[in-house]
């Protein structure tokens, strides 16, 4: 569930992980992995494997393996001493 296979002739196989905005998060090369290793990787990443193609997906896996949305931080405003606080980033970005 939530995994799409695209065959690109001549390209080395890789798993491309995208954010909920379809922004690329990571590329994992698959060339040196066996089918079993790839299945284990996909399962370890949190993808849900349906029993059959038309089987329902439990509610808790509908958006899996998506991580929760990042916390939106308020715009940075200078502190009382006029300095801008250091930038904070979400750990998944």
**27 φ/ψ angles, rounded to the nearest 5 degrees:** -120, 130
In total, the chain counts a number of residues equal to 93
Across residues 40-59, what is the average pLDDT?
90
Q: What is the pLDDT of residues 30-43, one digit of tens each?
A: 999 999 999 999 98
Q: Which of 24, 28, 44, 16 is nearest to 93 (CA)?
A: 24
- Every domain of the chain and the residues it spans: 14-61
Answering whether pTM is above 0.85, one says no
**28 φ/ψ angles, rounded to the nearest 5 degrees:** -120, 115
Please give the structure tokens belonging to residue 81: 């001493």
Number of neighbouring beta carbons within 10 Å of residue 10: 4
Instruction: Return the CATH class of domain 14-61.
Output: alpha beta
Residue 28 has pLDDT above 70, yes or no: yes
């Amino acid at each position: 569930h939530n995994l799409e296979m695209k065959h690109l002739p001549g390209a080395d196989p890789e798993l491309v992980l995208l954010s909920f905005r379809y922004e690329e998060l990571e590329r994992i090369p698959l060339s040196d992995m066996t089918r079993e290793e790839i299945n284990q990787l996909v399962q370890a990443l949190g993808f849900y494997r349906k029993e059959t193609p038309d089987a329902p997906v439990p509610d808790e896996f509908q958006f899996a393996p998506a991580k929760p949305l990042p916390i939106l931080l308020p715009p940075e405003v200078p502190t009382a001493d006029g300095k801008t606080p250091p930038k904070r980033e979400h750990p998944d970005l």
